Amino acid sequence: MPFVVAVDGPAGSGKSSISKEVARRLGFGFLDTGAAYRALAWHALAIGADTDDAASVISSLSSFDYRIGTDPAGYAVHVGEVDVTEAIRDPAISAVVSRVARVPEVRAHLIELFRASMATTPKPGIVVEGRDITTVVAPDAPVRILLTASEAVRIARRSAELVGPSADTAGEQLRRRDQADSKVVDFMTAAEGVTTVDSTDLDFDQTVEAVIGVIRTAQPQMVE
């Protein structure tokens, strides 16, 4: 197994963008686990499954042919032959993804895929980000971080990515998704041995430095 940096946190805390930049600077791979839950939600809708019905979601797993790259410089997400990299960011997917992610059989299936991806990364290390990486997917990782930020800041960051009416509803949607997700996994408080990085008052670069600082403290030889 390569050197694993596990990063969890709520929506809009910066997990994906910060982890990607940390991976780029350290020459590590990067795995966005949320993309898999989003891609499964996309697939379930595409084949006409009922995302409110666990059995229907579970049955969509057998035809879920998922691929994602681990290069932080650019990675595409595929379901079968379809490039869904953009489509899975659609608010329509954000609205249903928590229903798919709450199904235990789904989590077990995707966790196997994540572990396989981690084991086969060609880089000396990999930054893996999601909700349950520090606690379930890679609880033995040498570096485990909870990336947080106040709800107001997280909503402001997410809204800034959008334009028009969708920016107004982004806050409500983010709050609802965090609420639903936190019933399944606790990503609001750090588990034992997990270091919290609060980015509320840090800019992007300072947050990247803070995360690299945690890695440096744990394993100085991995950070030159």
Ligand X SMILES: Nc1ccn([C@@H]2O[C@H](COP(=O)(O)OP(=O)(O)O)[C@@H](O)[C@H]2O)c(=O)n1
Ligand Y SMILES: Nc1ncnc2c1ncn2[C@@H]1O[C@H](COP(=O)(O)OP(=O)(O)O)[C@@H](O)[C@H]1O
Q: Which residues are annotated as a binding site for ATP?
A: 9-17
Contact flag: residue 130 with ligand Y (CB under 6 A): no
For residue 54, report the phi and psi dihedrals to the nearest 5 degrees: -55, -40
What is the footprint of ligand X within residues 89-108 (CB under 6 A)?
97-98, 101
Contact flag: residue 37 with ligand X (CB under 6 A): yes
With CB cut-offs between 5 and 8 Å by kind, which of ligand Y, ligand X, none does residue 97 bind? ligand X
Q: 71: helix, coil or strand?
A: coil
With CB cut-offs between 5 and 8 Å by kind, which of ligand Y, ligand X, none does residue 14 bind? ligand Y
Q: And the tokens for 203?
A: 């800019």
Contact flag: residue 177 with ligand X (CB under 6 A): yes
143 close to 215: Cβ distance less than 8 angstroms:
yes
Residues 6+ apart with CB under 8 A from 87: 42, 93
CB of 219 vs ligand X, minimal distance in Å: 23
Contact flag: residue 31 with ligand X (CB under 6 A): no
Q: And the tokens for 94?
A: 């954000």
Q: Which amino acid is at 48?
A: G
Contact flag: residue 204 with ligand Y (CB under 6 A): yes
- Containing 188, the helix (H) or strand (E) segment is none
| Of the candidate residues 3, 5, 7, 16, the single one contacting ligand X (CB under 6 A) | 16
Q: And the tokens for 173?
A: 């949607």
Interface contacts to ligand Y, rule CB under 6 A: 9, 11-18, 157-158, 161, 199, 202-204, 207
